[in-house]
Each structure stands twice: as structure tokens, then as C-alpha cells.
Amino acid sequence: MIKILFLLLSINIIGQDFEIKSLKTYKSGDEISFPVIDYNSEKSPKITIEFDIAADYQPFLNIVFKFCDKNWQPYDNIFLVNQGHNVERNLWFDKLPNNIRGASYHFKKNFPSQDVWFPFSGKWIYYITDNHDESIIYASGKFLVVYPGIKINASMQKSRLEGENANSSTRTFTLSADFILPDSLNTSYVDEIEIIENQKFYDPIIITRDPYNNYRYYNWDGANRFSFVAKDIFPGNEYRQVDLRDYNIFNSKKVNAHRDVIETAQTNSRYYRDFNGGSILTNYKSEYADYLDVTFKLRMPSNFKKKIFLIGSFNEWDIWFDYEMQNNGGLYELTAELKRGIYDYQYVSAEEINGSITNLSWIELEGNNWETNNEYHVLLYYKEPERGNYDRLLGYVKILSGGL
């Protein structure tokens, strides 16, 4: 799968180098929130898109919005393109304070806007492009749009891995999503349930109508009542956090994430509350909103042989080879350029087989506790026969696991 690295993307246009940095998408008014425009529960919901640019001169850019199927593939169906209202043209940038290291301009705007709106319920992706040639894509982001559909009753309960000895690694949740389909809709078009934990778009839990999976299955009464069930959901732990805001502590370009502290695997419960995968960045108008080269260090036993990846709100909670930590005799290190702020992150162990990252474990280095407070975003997809049988987001609900 080809990734677009939009945390730090170096490009050349009209003889000018520039970088798009710290691209964020969130529910307007809440910087750490999941990016969803929910017309089902709000009257005029919006999302915010913002990012910095390091450049000598202000670039000329557009943002192109495209409606996608459930797998984030944009539709090329003319009836789903939203032609005429899917491009924000000639972006306006604010100039950053002159002493800022690492960036020169900032963009921030709420959507829908006067020129752009989103008429379909489902997944949307946007591309930051050259304003003369929209096929030249520099960065991208994702969000959901939810229009009133049907009500989902979601619930969670504690469980354990079946057939395993009881210990912390066997603690799991079972999530159930129940709903009644209106008579006006066809039961054969009910497609699947997708569950996104916190902001991990790239690692969802999928419950299809496949009857042969004992851990992801559905029940149907033959009329209009459905129940989708996902078992063996690991709660994990509260995320680690790095706070780079204090200029007196982090006062040089190259810094350690936790000063002189080297982190270790932490399988005990962390009782503070994290941002459920989000980040808070220093306001772009601040004279301290600059970029640092931040080194993360993790000490592991010398006999630990797996690869370790740094994953967090700064790389969209996705596994990239760019964020593989380098092992030097049990000291794993990685340096990332980050804007001052607070970031959720964690370490993930994995193996590489034939050039692919596999056998991921989100809990081996972090722990697994029922007390962990996560957000689970439950999405119900319906194969809408109108406009070419598209993936309509028919139902959406958010459920919290904390306090179970």
C-alpha cells in the first residue's frame, strides 16, 4: 500500500522546495477529537483542516475533496463527485513569526465552507494539490460525514481470550452493535460493521456477514433486527505522551523526548487519561511554535529480537518503515521532527516477512488493562442502490470503554 507521508513531505514546485508539516483534521472546536461531521447529533457540524508549510515563498495550493467507498477508495462515479462544490481553491496562508524554526506559513479553515460541502454519508478523503494541476498531490487526510440514518445500540462487556490461561494479556472486550432496519430499507443491502478504536483509521475491526467467523459474527432474526458482535478486542493501555511545550526545558533544536529518561516496556496500568490518539500543538501565532528534532529511546532486553515501531498522533497511528526504531544492543532509538505540543504515542512490536510488516502486537510493550479508557467508533455500512450502489454510512455511534 502506497503511503503519502504528509507529516513531513518534501516537494519541489516551480523551482521552489517546500514541506507540508503537522497536517491535522479534527472536529471543529476540539483539537484532539475524532474527525467526524455528524449531522445526526449536531445542527451545523464542521471539521477543521490545518497545517504548516516550510517555504521561502507562499505556494499556490488547492484542497480537493472526494467521496470514498468503505475502503477509502475515491469514487469516479459522476453522480458521487459533487462537481463544482468539491474544491477549495487558492488557499490563504498566515505568515508565522519570523523566529519560528521549521515553518513559514500556516493554513487553517473549517469545512463545509461557502464553496465546499459534503452531500453523502460515508468516508471522505481530501488531497492538497497544486492549484494548476490537481493530479500533483502533496498530502492527504481523512474524515467521516454522517447524515441521519438508523440508531445503533452499542454495548461492551469484559471478557477473556477463550482457551488461554488467565493473565493480563487475555483481558479483552466484547462489543455488540444492535439495530432495527426500517421497512423502507432492504435487509440484503446491510453490508458490515466497522469499529475504529480511538483514531486508528488504518487498523479497524471489521464484522462482515460471513457466518464462519466465531470472533466476528452477526445475528439476524429473518425480519429487520440485526446484531453484530466483535470478540477479543484488547483494551491495551493509556497511551504514552510527550510534552514539548516548555521552552525552558526543550530549548535547542535537538532534544530527547523525555530529557535524560530512557523508556522501557510498561505493562502495568497507566491511570492518567490520554487524548485517545490526539495531539495539542502550540498555537501557530506563538513565537515558540517551532519544530524540534525529538529522539525517542526505549530500552529492551538484549535477547528481544522483534522490530519496534514508534506510532502516534504524529504519523496517523499507522505502521511506516520510516518510524522503525534502530536497535543498538537493546537500546532502540528514533528521531522525528515534531512541532512543539503534546502528542499521544506508543511502541508496537512486529516482524518483517518478505518485505511486509506483520504479526503486530499493540500490547506486548504497553500492557493490557480493562481500566483503559478508549473511544470506539461504530460504523454501519449499507449498499445504497441509488447512484450506483455506493457504501452509505447508515449508522454511527461512539462508545467509551472506561468504567466497565
117-152, pLDDT tens digit by residue? 999 999 999 999 999 999 999 999 999 999 999 999
Helix ranges, 350-399 (H): none
Model pLDDT, residue 163? 65
Q: Which residues pair with residue 35 across a beta bridge? A: none
3-state secondary structure of 96: coil
Question: Which set of grid coordinates corresponds to residue 167?
Answer: 493473565
Q: Give backbone dihedrals phi and psi of 303, rounded to 5 degrees, phi first.
A: -90, 5
pLDDT exceeds cutoff 60 at 14: no
Question: Which set of grid coordinates corresponds to residue 140?
Answer: 492527504
Please state, rounded to an integer, the average pLDDT across all residues of the chain. 93
More confident residue, 6 or 98: 98
CA 368 to chain CA centroid, nearest Å: 21
pLDDT exceeds cutoff 90 at 73: yes
Peptide bond between residue 112 and the one before it cis (omega within 30 degrees of 0): yes
Model pLDDT for residues 26-44, shown as the tens digit of each residue: 999 999 999 999 999 999 9
Model pLDDT, residue 404? 67
pLDDT exceeds cutoff 80 at 166: no
pLDDT exceeds cutoff 50 at 7: no
Question: Which set of grid coordinates corresponds to residue 340?
Answer: 512543539
Q: Which domains does the chain have, with CATH numbers?
A: 8-146 (2.60.40), 153-236+371-400 (2.60.40), 240-361 (2.60.40)
DSSP state of 324: B
**pLDDT tier at 59, thresholds 50, 70, 90:** very high
Mean pLDDT of all residues in 310-337: 96
Sign of the torsion angle spanned by Cα atoms 2, 389, 395, 116: positive
CA–CA dist 76, 67 (Å, integer): 9
Question: Which set of grid coordinates corresponds to residue 247?
Answer: 521552552
Q: Give backbone dihedrals phi and psi of 188, rounded to 5 degrees, phi first.
A: -70, -15
Kindly provide the residue ranges of all beta strands, DSSP E only, lying in 236-385, ordered along the sequence: 240-243, 254-256, 263-264, 279-281, 291-299, 307-312, 326-328, 331-339, 341-353, 356-361, 375-384
Residues 318, 3 contacting (CB under 8 angstroms): yes
Beta-strand relationship, 291-299 and 263-264: parallel
Q: Which residues pair with residue 299 across a beta bridge? A: 264, 331
pTM of the model: 0.93
Model pLDDT, residue 11? 36
Model pLDDT for residues 202-219, shown as the tens digit of each residue: 999 999 998 888 899 999
For 65, the enclosing helix (H) or strand (E) is: strand 61-68
Question: Which set of grid coordinates corresponds to residue 284?
Answer: 501557530
280: Cβ contacts below 8 Å, ≥ 6 apart: 31, 32, 341, 342
Model pLDDT, residue 323? 97
Model pLDDT for residues 74-107, shown as the tens digit of each residue: 999 999 999 999 999 999 999 999 999 999 999 9
**pLDDT tier at 16, thresholds 50, 70, 90:** low
**pLDDT tier at 343, thresholds 50, 70, 90:** very high
Model pLDDT for residues 250-260, shown as the tens digit of each residue: 999 999 999 88
b/e map 105-137, b = 16+ CB within 10 Å: bbbebebbeeebebebbbbbbbbbbbeeeeeeb
Model pLDDT for residues 216-273, shown as the tens digit of each residue: 999 999 999 999 999 999 999 999 999 999 999 999 999 999 988 899 998 888 888 8
Model pLDDT, residue 85? 96
Model pLDDT, residue 13? 38
Q: Give backbone dihedrals phi and psi of 258, rounded to 5 degrees, phi first.
A: -130, 45
Residues 8, 258 contacting (CB under 8 angstroms): no
Residues 54, 104 contacting (CB under 8 angstroms): yes
Model pLDDT, residue 6? 36
Q: Give backbone dihedrals phi and psi of 79, rounded to 5 degrees, phi first.
A: -80, -5
In percent, the amount of the chain with pLDDT more than 70 equals 95
Question: Which set of grid coordinates corresponds to residue 239?
Answer: 497511551
**pLDDT tier at 10, thresholds 50, 70, 90:** very low
CA–CA dist 388, 386 (Å, integer): 6
- Calculate the alpha carbon distances from 51 to 3, 46, 64, 108, 127 in Å: 18, 17, 15, 7, 13
